[in-house]
Amino acid sequence: MDIWHIRGGNRLFGSCRVQGSKNASLPVLAASIVFPARSRIRNVPRLRDADAAVSILSHLGCSVGREENELYIDSGLVADADIPRELMAEMRSSVIFMGALLARCGEARLSLPGGCQLGKRPIDLHLSALRAMGAEISEEGSDIFCRAAKLHGAEIDLRFPSVGATENIMLAACAAEGRTTIHGAAREPEIVALQNYLSSLGAHISGAGSGRIVICGASARETTDYTVPSDRIVASTLACACAAAGGRIILSGVNYEHFLTVLHFLNEAGCDIIHFNDIVEISSSGVLRAPGSVITAPYPGFPTDAQPILMAALLRAQGTTQFTETIFENRYRHVSELRRLGADISVDGTQAVLRGVKELRGETLTAPDLRGGAAMVVAGLTARGETRVVDAGHIARGYESFDDRLCALGADVWIEHKGKGTYEDASQPDQPAAFQQARRV
């Protein structure tokens, strides 16, 4: 259990290099088992979810070593296709191991994944697509059993551009005979990252970033060296923090286009934004105006993960902002906590109406999930007095050293660790015997 202490009132100044992407790292780690290969994967953030993925890889028989933000994975031996329920429960993204294990082992045994409770997130699109490629799948309660003596290419139409389903199809299709085409594929930057990693291992994939992706098997390679792109949601969070608190910060190592919609609304709210190459500069007076209507949508639309964070940044904005959430039914769980600070927010179904207030007051809040917890930290930066956020480890699932990054920019933030189970106490993967060999990638 962590208790975040945030004393509001400080403006933010300085520069910050944005961490590697959580949502790109996790599919890449799962993809490392598709072929027997040695991978050096750079810019992997030190997060709870990344550790959970490493634990799954180790359980399956891979040799995994870490040096700072580099992981060395030797997947030459995958001895098991069964992921225990307790490992699956650690993160939502664990479901992508299904496609990877089918590609490598021809079978997969796992359970429904864990992660933030944001509402119904069925995996029927994953299962129907894999069945179309020749997999036999049975379900017993929360347990899923997949088997495929031989996968074959297929024309797959996704009725919704599901990121997870797109990733699972890409992974399984690497071992399928013939061509697999995904119509209506997710277009997120993380899909492009997965394509780039699989291509570096010899997979024949094209089209990521568009609605149509084509996979034609692979000519597997033994080694690869890959760098994970920056995290667009972390970049969005830091930009929103500056917008709310006021100041001027420079984010480096980012792709401006990946969080363009968030920057658009911050600009509409009164922030000055400059970008050049991999640098984005945000300046804010701390006095914002409501940007109007914000509607979440699959990429390239406004990201649902950034909705709670932008809402927190606009709590004192002049005027009214209407949010419409189209992805997750329980994405407004942070609203009741933000109201405790004095925020004026009303919710009706998928819509939330935010009316800016003159002042927020520090209170004790409880983080309901990863992005909701980050939103409360952002809100605390603008509240009078001290805001305390009680967090059961959610924030550490997606933000690496978030408190240190904010403090380096001038925020007054510190974390009180209570009891066991903090990220700092989490056991790190052992350095296996094959570690030095994997490093020679």
Helix (H, G, I), strand (E, B) or coil at 289: strand
Q: Which residue has the tokens 């804010």?
A: 284
Q: Which of 16, 105, 116, 146 is catalytic?
A: 116
Distances (CA, A) of 224 to 102, 135, 440: 21, 29, 10
Helix (H, G, I), strand (E, B) or coil at 168: helix
Q: How far apart are CA 393 and CA 285, in angstroms?
A: 32
Q: How many CB atoms lie within 10 A of CB 406?
A: 26
262 in Cβ contact with 275 (< 8 Å): no
Q: How many helices (H) and strands (E) does the chain have?
A: 14, 23
Complete edge-to-edge strand list for the sheet that includes strand 143-147:
107-111, 143-147, 136-140
Distances (CA, A) of 291 to 177, 311, 349, 372, 441: 50, 11, 21, 21, 48
Q: How far apart are CA 146 and CA 350, in angstroms?
A: 35
90 in Cβ contact with 396 (< 8 Å): no
Helix (H, G, I), strand (E, B) or coil at 258: helix
Distances (CA, A) of 392 to 155, 218, 329, 362, 422: 42, 42, 22, 20, 9
Q: How far apart are the first and last CA of the chain?
A: 38
- Is 116 among the catalytic positions? yes
Q: How far apart are CA 352 and CA 335, in angstroms?
A: 9
To 10 degrees, the CA torsion angle through 303, 22, 62, 95?
Answer: -30
Picking from 105, 174, 167, 67, the residue whose alpha carbon sits closest to that of residue 441 is 67
Q: How far apart are CA 418 and CA 96, in angstroms?
A: 32
Active site residues: 116
